[in-house]
Amino acid sequence: MRASARTLQFLVAATFVSISIATDTIDLTTSITGNQTLVSARGVFRLGFFTPPGSSDGRTYIGIWYASIPVQTVVWVANRQDPVVRSPGVLKLSTDGRLVILDGQNTTVWSSAAPTRDMTSRATARLLDSGNLVVSHDGSGSPESAAWQSFDYPTDTQLPGMKIGVDRRSGIDRNITSWSSPSDPSPGPYTFKLLPTGLPEFFLFRGAAKIYASGPWNGVGLTGVPDHLKNWDYTFTVVSNPDETYCAYYIAASSPLLSRFVVDGAAGLLQRYVWGGDGEWNSFWYHPTDPCDSYAKCGAFGFGHCDTAQTPECRCLPGFQPRSPQQWSFRDGSAGCVRRTNLSCGDGDGFWPVNNMKLPETTGATVHADMTLDECRQACLANCSCRAYAAANISGGVSRGCAIWAVDLLDMRQYPVVVQDVYIRLAQSEVDAMIKVQSGKRRRPMVIAVAATISGVLLLGAIGFFYFWRNRARGKKGQRQAPGSRNNVLPFRKHTDLSPSADQRFNENKMSGEDDLDLPLFDLAVILASTDSFAAESKLGEGGFGPVYLGRLEDGQEVAVKRLSTKSSQGVEEFKNEVKLIAKLQHKNLVRLLGCCIDGDERLLVYEFMPNNSLDTFIFDAEKRKLLEWNKRFEIILGIARGLLYLHEDSRFKIIHRDMKASNVLLDRNMAPKISDFGIARMFGGDETTAYTLKVIGTYGYMSPEYAMEGVFSIKSDIYSFGVMVLEIVSGKKIRGFYHADLGLNLCGYAWMLWKEGRSSELLDEAMGSSSDHGQVRRCIQVALMCVDIQPRNRPVMSTVVMMLASENATLPEPNEPGVNAGRNTSDTGSSRTQSEFTVTATDTR
């Protein structure tokens, strides 16, 4: 959890005792005062006076916080600018239908906006389980009877069901604004809100300056939020119609999930928090996430490039060049880009589509809901100030309406996946030049084959090609889809005006001059030939997601082919997108994905082959373990840590492995470790960024307690597994095989006992002899013990782990006694009660 967020919460101090008046309602005759509170019907939220942590002058506020968790987390404040200074405060409902806060001297310090309905004598104010405080004009509580509600006046938190945006009928414009400081709920500098012009788009402001934009909503997703949270019980949506425009998210009523979306003033971030089973708020989702999220970082007609394994940088749209090459070379892209060739402002102009970008800001664009793309193109050509156009709504794979930019294109960034086509206006000579460049470069045969196949289908509808560079035939939707759409495969976009030859030209990646991102697709026939039709002899082993075979390609290259069990509910395009994303994760401690094959139900992944097999075949083997001296083992531990660090923190996608174990670490020719199977959970439709999962994927023994018991996973679950693995590497003992019967301890408990008694070098694998660096050994054990802490929050993150492992002389924190599994025999399979209480979909078969 981010420290800044922690400051907004505080443990209920022993003195902080609330007396609930056992109701969720006040009416015209009742009030709450002092330490009385209202509690919603099912006990989810509590309303009452509170004092912010760290404020010593006795100011109190009316607030709403969660009733069921020990960390007082205030989600709404009524009088954020008007504290009660003279206690005790009183909250009551006045006869004119306003909520009123009086101080100890009966002075009104705050009152709510005027009700939108006439009051009756039965009027009430009720605190709902959603966290909404609703004034009902007749006390009936029906939605129509609402005369005022706290959801219309958010503070810094968007709760499920709360709308951010404008209601044009009532004139209410809802934003969320950070607290000034953890001890002062008055409005701080950061605000997240809708800007009313153009396509629906939400902006994070610091004061008057935009610092982050969500990207325009295109009917499918916010194009600047590639990782919309999606979970089995979580949906996000943007609604835009003449009455209102807003974003909201919803949690299934049956879900126990507590979720909040906050403008964090200390960090200057938008954050989504989920209450974890570990007793704290976890945040896996926040924006701005990386430098390319900074608003308009690369200036006009520039776009940000922040991909894996590369330094963030600014680039220019095709046909443009840096305005100030000198600044550009110093990595300052803010001056943006200028045209290489001026527009002719007549027939001499054309368009070039880019489609793997966040859409440019549309607040200055004109949206035409009724125009077709053709009409839009004509309109753009006819107006000399028009710079670009794009479809306004691509929901369902169909283009509706359009946006026309007669302003500079700002705030674009590149994604590894297709978002939607934006047609950039360029001088025709530039377009021609680019077409020439494209057709000059030969693409890899594999990619052409795919494109041609898909185009072939689309060609059926190709009536003509009025302008043949319109769309790409790769009719896949973006990876950053709206939540809720993950499992619906969108229909292919229609490309009635496209020729296959044109298609081959439009690979944006070529266009922007970088490596072809297309992943080789292998023919099933090629794979069958290389593996002898999955012959038993070529089987290398069985992993969590299916068997692995050794294949020998025609050119003699050896590859490992993973045959995924076909349980995935994903469509082909989605699967391909996932594979491409995984293929982009490249690090020397990760196994390289070479390609994939999709044929009917078959889903195959082709990896580089690791001749030395997996780590467990060494450290748990009576003979081979002797080959691994301490130095080598230490290097392996460091290598795994670096690979995991890359997955967790350095790659753009923040992959949680979910099944870290010795058999998933492969060794190359030089015995350098490479993590395998990363990201596969993702391909099976699991969302890597969310905190809960229906199916627990993993291997017992390596699973962190909170993951195994409650299905809560996070990077901290991987850290736990890493800790277990380090103990295995040091000791040469299997977590699933080791049980010290006399002491009643498993490997973690045993390691801790030795640690406490200062005998930790006894844990060392006796096969290693005495040449080991005992300082290093102790440090590894110490770090491992921190990693297997029962409390996720006490486990270090990977960057800390790497630092601690590498720092020779630093004094490291003392580990705690490892939790839950200490003392329980984990080696007997099936007999333990906890084991049968959850599904292990991927188990260790070794």
Ligand X SMILES: *[C@@H]1O[C@H](CO)[C@@H](O)[C@H](O)[C@H]1NC(C)=O
Active site residues: 659
- Using CB under 6 A as the binding rule, whether residue 400 contacts ligand X is answered as yes
Of 214 and 366, CB closest to ligand X: 366
Least CB distance from residue 183 to ligand X, whole Å? Answer: 21
**Pairwise CA distance, residues 288 & 271, whole Å:** 9
Q: Closest distance between ligand X and the C-beta of residue 436, in Å?
A: 21
Shorter beta-carbon distance to ligand X: residue 7 or 191: 191
Distance of closest approach, residue 259 Cβ to ligand X, in angstroms = 22
Q: State which residue, 139 or 221, has the beta carbon closest to ligand X.
A: 221
- In sequence order, the 6+-apart residues with CB closer than 8 A to the CB of 759 are none
DSSP 793-805: GGSPPHHHHHHHH
Contact predicate 610/668, CB 8 Å: yes
782 lies in the site for ligand X, by CB under 6 A:
no
Side-chain half-sphere exposure of 745, counting CA atoms within 13 A: 13
Closest CA to 49 of 95, 104, 7: 104
Q: Is residue 385 close enough to count as binding ligand X by CB under 6 A? A: yes
Residues 569-588, interacting with ligand X (CB under 6 A): none
Compose the 8-27 pattern: x for residues touching ligand X by CB under 6 A, - for all others. ---------x-x--------
CB of 607 to ligand X, least distance (A): 40
Which residue is associated with the tokens 């970008």? 357
Contact (Cβ atoms closer than 8 angstroms) between residue 5 and residue 264: yes
Q: Nearer Cβ to ligand X, position 85 or 406?
A: 406
Distance CA 263, CA 387 (A): 34
3-class SS at 377?
helix
By the rule CB under 6 A, 481 interacts with ligand X: no
Looking at residues 33 to 62 of the shown chain, list those that interact with ligand X (rule: CB under 6 A).
34-35
The binder of ligand X chosen from 177, 689, 704, 782 (CB under 6 A): 177
> How far is residue 158 from each of residues 130, 177, 272, measured CA to CA in Å?
11, 10, 9
193 is an interface residue for ligand X by CB under 6 A: yes
Whether 589 contacts 608, CB under 8 Å: no
Nearer to ligand X by Cβ, of 33 and 255: the residue is: 33
Which CB sits closer to ligand X, 342 or 770? 342
Q: Whose Cβ is closer to ligand X: residue 219's or residue 643's?
A: 219
Question: Of residues 84-123, which lie at the interface with ligand X (CB under 6 A)?
Answer: 105-106
Cis peptide before 88 (omega within 30 of 0): yes
Find the shortest distance in angstroms from Cβ 316 to ligand X.
16
Residue 722: its H or E element:
helix 715-731
What is the nearest approach in angstroms of ligand X to the Cβ of residue 112? Answer: 11
Burial class (CB in 10 A: 0-12, 13-18, 19+), 808: exposed
Given 25, 136, 157, 191, the residue binding ligand X (CB under 6 A): 191
CA 345-351-357 angle, to 5 degrees, is: 125
Q: Tell me the number of residues near ligand X by CB under 6 A.
A: 23
The CB-of-270 to ligand X minimum distance in angstroms stands at 14
Part in contact with ligand X (CB under 6 A); list of ranges 44-52, 394-402, 632-640, 747-755: 394-402
Answer for which of 393, 481, 614, 651 binds ligand X (CB under 6 A) is 393
Query: What are 595's strand-pairing partners?
Result: 606
Least distance from ligand X to the Cβ atom of residue 290, Å? 25
Give dist(CA 185, CA 63) in Å, integer.
Answer: 10
Phi, psi of 766 (to 5 degrees): -65, -20
Residues 439-478, one symbol each (x = binds ligand X by CB under 6 A, - = not), give ----------------------------------------
By the rule CB under 6 A, 809 interacts with ligand X? no
Q: Which stretch binds ligand X (CB under 6 A): 388-396, 448-456, 477-485, 511-519?
A: 388-396
Which phi and psi (to 5°) does residue 147 adopt?
-110, -15
Instruction: For 577-607, give the secondary structure using H, E and C.
Output: HHHHHHHCCCCCCECCEEEEEEECCEEEEEE
User: CB-wise, 255 or 395, nearer to ligand X?
Assistant: 395
> What angle do helix axes 774-787 and 630-645 make, rounded to 10 degrees?
40
- Tell me the CA distances in angstroms from 379 to 198, 339, 362, 385, 387, one per residue in order: 17, 21, 17, 11, 11
CA-based nearest residue to 253, from 375, 366, 128: 128
In the complex, least distance from residue 471 CB atom to ligand X, rounded to whole angstroms: 18
Q: Between 146 and 306, whose beta carbon lies closer to ligand X?
A: 146
Query: Which of the residues 306 through 345 are near ligand X (CB under 6 A)?
Result: 342
Span near ligand X by CB under 6 A; candidates 392-400, 473-481, 664-672, 725-733: 392-400
Q: Which x/- pattern over 267-306 shows residues binding ligand X (rule: CB under 6 A)?
A: ----------------------------------------
Interacting residues with ligand X between 401 and 440 (CB under 6 A):
406
What's the min distance (Å) between Cβ of 366 and ligand X? 5
Question: Per rule CB under 6 A, is residue 366 in the interface with ligand X?
Answer: yes
Binding test (CB under 6 A) with ligand X, winner from 23, 383, 512, 827: 383
Separation between Cα atoms, residue 779 and residue 763, nearest integer Å: 13
Q: C-beta of 149: minimal distance to ligand X in Å? A: 13
How far apart are alpha carbons 127 and 113 in whole angstroms? 17
Residue 169 · residue 244 · CB < 8 Å: yes
Among 318-326, 390-398, 716-724, 775-783, the segment contacting ligand X (CB under 6 A): 390-398
Query: Which residues, 6+ apart, have CB-to-CB distance to 616 below 8 Å?
Result: 661, 662, 663, 665, 734, 846
Choose among 51, 25, 28: nearest CA to 38.
Answer: 25
What is the residue-wise DSSP string for 740-777? ETTTTEEHHHHHHHHHHTT-GGGGS-GGGTT-S-HHHH
The answer to whether 361 and 410 have CB atoms below 8 angstroms apart is yes
Residue 178 interacts with ligand X (CB under 6 A)? no
Cα 629 to the center of its chain, rounded Å: 39
Q: Determine contact, residues 158/176, Cβ cutoff 8 Å.
A: yes
Q: Please say which residue, 115 or 312, places its beta carbon nearer to ligand X.
A: 115
* Neighbouring residues of 273: CB distance < 8 A, sequence distance ≥ 6: 5, 259, 260, 261, 262, 281, 282, 283
Q: Nearest approach, Cβ of 681 to ligand X (angstroms)?
A: 32
Task: List the one residue from 231, 240, 531, 663 that touches ligand X (CB under 6 A).
Answer: 240
Strand, helix or coil for residue 205: strand
Instruction: Considering only residues 648 through 667, tell me which ones interact with ligand X, judged by CB under 6 A.
Output: none
By C-beta, is 241 or 809 nearer to ligand X? 241
Q: Does 395 contact ligand X by CB under 6 A?
A: yes
CB nearer ligand X, residue 34 or residue 141: 34
Site residues (CB under 6 A) for ligand X, limited to 118-157: 153
* Residue 175 Cβ vs ligand X, minimum distance, rounded to whole Å: 4
**Distance (Å, whole) CA 548 – CA 520:** 19
- For position 219 contacting ligand X by CB under 6 A, the verdict is yes
Q: Which stretch binds ligand X (CB under 6 A): 391-399, 638-646, 787-795, 817-825?
A: 391-399
Residue whose CB is less far from ligand X, 244 or 332: 244
Binding positions for ligand X, rule: CB under 6 A: 17, 19, 34-35, 105-106, 153, 175, 177, 191, 193, 217, 219, 240, 342, 366, 383, 385, 393, 395-396, 400, 406
